[in-house]
Amino acid sequence: MLIQPNKLIYLIFIKGIFLFCNVATAEKTNILQDITVTGNYYPKKLTETGSAVTIISNKDIEKSGMSYVSQILNATAGYQDYKSGGPHSLTRAFLRGNETDHSLILINGMKIVDSSTGRGSIDLERINLNGVERIEVLRGSQSALYGSEAIGGVINIILKRGTKEQIKFLNIELSNRLDKNIDTGVSGNINNLYFSLNHHHSEGPGISAAEKSLGYNENDSYNIDSTNLVIDYDFNSTTEISLVSRVFTSEIEEDDAPLGPFIDADRQANLLDWQSAVSLNKDYGSYTLEAIMSTAKARRYQLNEDRKFRWYIADLNSAKLKFDIPLNNKEKFIFGVDTERSHMDTQDQYNAYDFKVSSSSTFYSYSNNTIKNLFIDASFRSNHHDLFGLSSTYRIAGSYIIFNSGFRLHSSYGTGYRAPTLDEIYGSYGSVLIKEETSRSRDIGLEYTSSNNNINADLTFFATQIDNLIGYGPAPGYKFSNQGSAKNKGLEFFINYTLTKEIIINSHYNYLTTNNNGRSLSRRKKHSGKTSISYNPENFSDLSFNSSIEYHSNARDGAFSGGHIAGYALIHSNLNYNLNSNSKLHFKIDNLLDQKYSEADTAGSYGRTLSLGIKINF
């Protein structure tokens, strides 16, 4: 049931022709709004942003039936990932084919760390969609705005804030594989204090992360809890203070991949992951002040046959002070400073390490809309790192709305950098000889919005070059080393089409080529895509249906000698039915065709899974 890449391309173009031929018959709708991108250093309307941006709204999240950030992002514009097994196994993101360490993951602007290495490449399977208001994905180098680790882009997850009326809910979901998911939450306000508290619990027997076709039959169970808290207090119309906090704990049985294929192992990983940030926003009239202090802590303990044999402790403390100065109604200037201090303490059977490092930056950003319909942003950042000294990055982006045509041209060019992590310098495979990674990234795209707003489409071409790419070196030491330059090129296409008031079609396609010393980068798929269809019968408004198909072509897996990942296609469907105004039934099928596939060589994956749930509002 696999689809060949050339057939996929034909299907996409045929679908595009079909959609445009039916424009005249579609009823007038208003699916697009003045969406504001808050993942930037200052809010901007999407049409004024030069960056290539994907925004997934709360409505999109609810329609999808998905539970985790990695699931809903999979195969969207510019996004790929890999997963080393079944539910809650390690899941890493590739934005535009860049390394996982090149994608910065933020929660309400908070930076979080990886508990196993102290890196910024976060396991996206940890982040549940309960309590998430929307997800903003900024593609292309964002280092001038966000600093290290934003070479490929930024994934900013925005949590729900408190509501004017108190809302309480309980959601319970069970699957035929004995997975259990329980979500609960409450939000409201007390005078000028707004609060939102959401909790997620998940448990199940799982599957073997090592592929069962190789003879591995031991299931790897999991037990997960995560809680999000958002508190906002409005002192007056010009002053607001906010607290955001997130706690994640897990107990997961896992298999081993000792520089080779996954094998069954009687191992377990216990994780405690906590982030918290306090921010102050004050409007002084002529300028706005924002001050943020945040901390991120992660503790990972690995047990083998109930004996602790390895642990990782990672801490990240940061602070930022930012001034937003409107020069006039056409120009804005921003400047500020931020600082970070990271710490890693790790021990295994052979070694123990305890290291700290600090960095600080000054940043400047200028936006201009003097020429009608033309929006220009320019940003610059100067960095100082304890170990690597001074460096600088810059970025320029523009958006031009072509008069009365429905077309918008957007483009950006930026440089990026990533300082090696403490693990890459001092860890078991660390080397004090490695250098910073640097990059150059550019893209240009054309967006179209029909006059009656029932079609929104975008085609973007991009190219990135990363110098001093860091990776594992050769045997016997496998020490981290700089491995020359990597070049990624490709295109991203998406179309959102409202066929009627009842039917909405959303389709993405990604084409990607990568090259590092004459070989493609590991686990990158040349072709990937996703198409979703939402159906909400006008005469039966209590019922809604959503189905999606995602496609991934084959790829090599350079993590193992001779590793290979076959291409695959997956179909997911879910059905929602409102029993009354306060309760809703939902039924979903993941991997409808029971496709056998792997996202990493020799790693296992779930087959067809049926889930039934109920959500109750109080």
Continuous segment of H or E residues that includes residue 150: none
pLDDT (tens digit per residue) in 555-576:
988 765 567 889 999 999 999 9
**What is the pTM assigned to this prediction?**
0.88
Position 49 scores a pLDDT of 86
E-strand stretches of 327-388: 331-347, 352-368, 374-385
Task: Tell me the β-bridge partners of 393.
Answer: 381
pLDDT in tens, 299-345: 888 877 667 777 888 888 999 999 999 999 999 999 999 999 988 88
**Contact (Cβ atoms closer than 8 angstroms) between residue 468 and residue 424:** no
Which helix (H) or strand (E) is 386 found in, with range? Answer: none
For residues 169 and 617, give the distance between their C-alpha atoms in angstroms, rounded to a whole number. Answer: 4
CA distance 491 to 134: 24
- Residue 272 class from Cβ within 10 Å (0-12 exposed, 13-18 middle, 19+ buried)? middle
Cα angle 68-249-301, degrees, rounded to a multiple of 5: 120
Rounded CA separation 277/196 (Å): 15
Render pLDDT for 148-197 as a digit per residue (tens, 0 to 9): 888 889 888 999 999 999 999 999 999 998 999 999 999 999 999 999 99
Alpha-carbon distances, residue 255 vs 84, 139, 210, 602 (angstroms): 9, 33, 7, 11
Query: Comparing 561 with 282, which gets the higher pLDDT?
Result: 282
Q: What is the pLDDT of residue 2?
A: 40
Backbone angles phi, psi at 64, to 5 degrees: -70, -30
Give the pLDDT score at 594.
92
Distance (Å, whole) CA 368 – CA 247: 40
496 - beta bridge partners? Answer: 456, 506
- Under 8 Å between Cβ of 529 and 509: yes
Which tokens is 246 given?
A: 């997130």
Q: Which amino acid is at 327?
A: L
How many CB atoms are located within 10 Å of the residue 513 CB? 14
Contact (CB, 8 A) for 483 and 466: no
pLDDT recorded at residue 212: 63
523 pLDDT more than 50: yes
| Residue 207 near residue 85, CB atoms below 8 Å | yes
Q: What is the mean pLDDT of residues 592-616?
A: 88
257 backbone dihedrals φ, ψ, rounded to 5°: -135, 80
CA distances from 612 to 180, 184, 376, 564 (A): 10, 16, 48, 35
Q: How many CA atoms lie within 13 A of 474 on its CB side?
A: 1
Q: Is the pLDDT of residue 18 over 70?
A: no
Q: Which two tokens stand for residue 465?
A: 């070059």
**Amino acid found at 400:** Y
> Residue 400 has what DSSP assignment?
E
DSSP code, position 210: B
Q: Phi and psi at residue 519, in whole multiples of 5°?
A: -125, 150
Cα-based angle 609, 614, 618 (whole degrees, multiple of 5): 155
SS3 per-residue string spanning 517-555: CCECCCCCCCEEEEEEEEECCCCCCCEEEEEEEEEECCE
- Separation between Cα atoms, residue 112 and residue 100, nearest integer Å: 14
pLDDT in tens, 217-270: 677 888 999 999 999 999 999 999 999 999 999 888 776 655 455 555 667 788
State the number of CA atoms in the 13 A half-sphere of 229 facing the CB: 11
Question: 10 Å Cβ neighbour count for 442?
Answer: 15
Question: Which candidate, 112, 125, 96, places its Cα nearest to that of 156?
Answer: 112
Tell me what pLDDT residue 384 has.
94
Tell how far CA 333 is from the center of its chain. 28
- The DSSP line for 239-285 is EEEEEEEEEEEEEEEEEE-SSSS-EEEEEEEEEEEEEEEEEEEEE-S
Distance between CA atoms of 512 and 97, rounded to whole angstroms? 7
Domain boundaries, the chain: 5-617
Residue 425 near residue 479, CB atoms below 8 Å:
no
Average confidence (pLDDT) over 566-588: 94
Backbone Cα Rg of the chain: 24
Q: How far apart are CA 412 and CA 149, in angstroms?
A: 18
With H, G, I as helix, E, B as strand and everything else as coil, classify residue 218: coil
pLDDT band at 28 (very low <50, low <70, confident <90, very high): very low
- 550 and 527 Cβ atoms separated by less than 8 Å: no
Q: Which CATH superfamily is domain 5-617 in?
A: TonB-dependent receptor, beta-barrel domain (2.40.170.20)
- Using DSSP bridges, classify how beta strands 563-565 and 555-557 pair: parallel, antiparallel or unpaired: antiparallel
